[in-house]
Amino acid sequence: MKTAYLNARLLDPASGLDTAGGLLVEDGRIAKLGAKVFKGGAPKGVEAIDCEGLCLAPGLIDMRVNLCEPGAEHKETIATAGAAAAAGGITTMVALPNTTPVIDDVSIVEFIARRARGHGRVKVLCYGAITQGTEGSQLTEMGLLAEAGAVAFTDGTEVVADAMVMRRALSYASGFGLLIVQHPEEPSLAACGVMNEGEIASRLGLMGIPAQAETMVVERDIRLVEITGGRYHAAHLSTAGAIDAIRRAKKQGLPVTCDTAPHYFALNESAVGDYRTFAKVSPPLRSEADREAVVEGLVDGTVDIVASDHAPHDQDSKRLPFNHAAAGVIGLETLLPLTLEPYHNGKLTLLEALAKLTSAPATLLGLESGRLEAGAPADLVLFDPDLPWRIEEKSFLSKSKNSPFDGRPVQGRAVRTAVDGVPIHDGVPVRDGVPADRPEG
């Protein structure tokens, strides 16, 4: 089957391509693209899609997703997450290992792969756990897990707190060229905390988590990278201190990278308001100075990647007193527009913003997707970067609805998403920010 995309604005952060042109998909891969492709129109016998000047880019890669399957299907499933991801322009999700059972065995990696093939939407990859049961003591068989398909290793929402265990993990992984991903939060400092330590926490009477809890783990792990030479990635950074530590490590030439999530550059601790549990995340929303530091890290390239950190929770988990509510927000359907906010604010170019969602995670994880080039998989997103709309909880396709962005006006939306050339999402027409097939209000 052949598909021709005509009159598109072709965007490829990997090569710096930004031009009007066309793209041909054949047998699930990109056959050719460029300014002169289909300049005279599409040939007969080819499905033609007139992009009308909208942006055609590699499908987004979300490298931090809690799928909840197996074990917590009442919160999310691979199928419902896939539908939400497709609507958000995401073509590849990487699942965290914090399932029940934990992804610390080859059989669970194979289970995730089988379930992903069955749901028929986006591509689903998974992490293997660093330690058995994500308990932070005994290392898993990383080599076997990698052979089975695990793309990197992390204990997900749990920190590897023991320095010797982390040193062994980095050493073991370096022998296979594998990546270690850390949730950096010093557990004894964070144990009783539920939001950022500071004036707002004191006013609300809530225990705080100091910014240093994140910075301390990142700085410790960088020293372990110096010893072992292992590849290290710090996840969802939220503080100026941790980002500065990564910046210094990169200047030393160490194999260190990091990501952040949209809520850490789009919100600060004031979003907690009067005990708003939908703004409770781990690590917590930080001060305005930290939020600005995250933006600066995106701008200067210290922060390599933006991931949704999608963590679905049902109402029974969120509608509780703040101290007892689960931490986490959903983010698959809002990843693109929120990552475009620094572009609309003049902080990043469009290619720079897209790189955080496409070529950067693809390069880090060794994926062949994430770029527009002949022979690459036809994982594509067609989107309007300027389309204004309002985030509405009721329209989410995720099974859970725990978003702190409900009611937020944004710009940018996926119109069409394709995996291996096959369309998995076609956006409905939009009128004044409201989908035309849904009533206003």
The domain that holds 34 is classified in CATH as 2.30.40.10
Pair 38, 6: CB distance under 8 Å: yes
Of 338, 365, 392, the residue at which a domain comes to its end is: 365
Q: Measured between alpha carbons, how far is 181 from 157 in angstroms, rounded to an integer?
A: 11
**HSE toward the beta carbon, residue 228, CA cutoff 13 A:** 28
Residue 288: enclosing H or E segment and its boundaries? Answer: helix 288-300
Establish if 370 belongs to a structural domain: no
Q: Is residue 28 part of a domain?
A: yes
Same domain, residue pair 304 and 361? yes
Q: Is residue 18 part of a domain?
A: yes
Q: Judge residue 36's burial from the number of C-beta atoms within 10 Å of its C-beta, 0-12 exposed, 13-18 middle, 19 or more buried.
A: exposed
CA distance 255 to 273: 39
Identify whether residues 272 and 287 lie together within a single domain.
yes
CB 273 within 8 A of CB 182: no
Assigned domain for 371 exists: no
Q: What total of structural domains would you count in the chain? A: 2
441 lies in some domain: no
Q: Examine the domain organization and report whether 146 and 221 are in the same domain.
A: yes
Backbone angles phi, psi at 363, to 5 degrees: -65, -45
Domain of residue 118: give its range. Answer: 59-365
What pTM did the predictor assign? 0.95
pLDDT tens, N- to C-terminus, the chain (441 residues): 799 999 999 999 999 999 999 999 999 999 999 999 998 888 888 999 999 999 999 999 999 999 999 999 999 999 999 999 999 999 999 999 999 999 999 999 999 999 998 876 899 999 999 999 999 999 999 999 999 999 999 999 999 999 999 999 999 999 999 999 999 999 999 999 999 999 999 999 999 999 999 999 999 999 999 999 999 999 999 999 999 999 999 999 999 999 999 999 999 999 999 999 999 999 999 999 999 999 999 999 999 999 999 999 999 999 999 999 999 999 999 999 999 999 999 999 999 999 999 999 999 999 999 999 999 999 999 999 999 999 999 999 999 999 999 999 999 999 999 999 999 999 743 323 333 343 333
* 122 in the same domain as 28: no
Buried b (16+ CB within 10 A) or exposed e, 149-168: ebbbbbbbbbbbeeeebbbb
Short-list 223, 224, 254, 221, CA closest to 235: 221
| CA–CA dist 71, 142 (Å, integer) | 23
Do 50 and 84 lie in one domain? The reply is no
**Residues involved in catalysis:** 309
Where residue 87 sits, what CATH number does that domain have? 3.20.20.140
Q: Is residue 398 part of a domain?
A: yes
**Residue 110 forms part of a structural domain:** yes
424 and 313, same domain (yes or no)? no
Q: Are residues 123 and 50 in the same domain?
A: no
For 285-321, letters b (16+ CB in 10 Å) and e give bbbeebbebbbbbbeeebbbbbbbbbbbbbeebbeee
Residue 74 DSSP class:
T
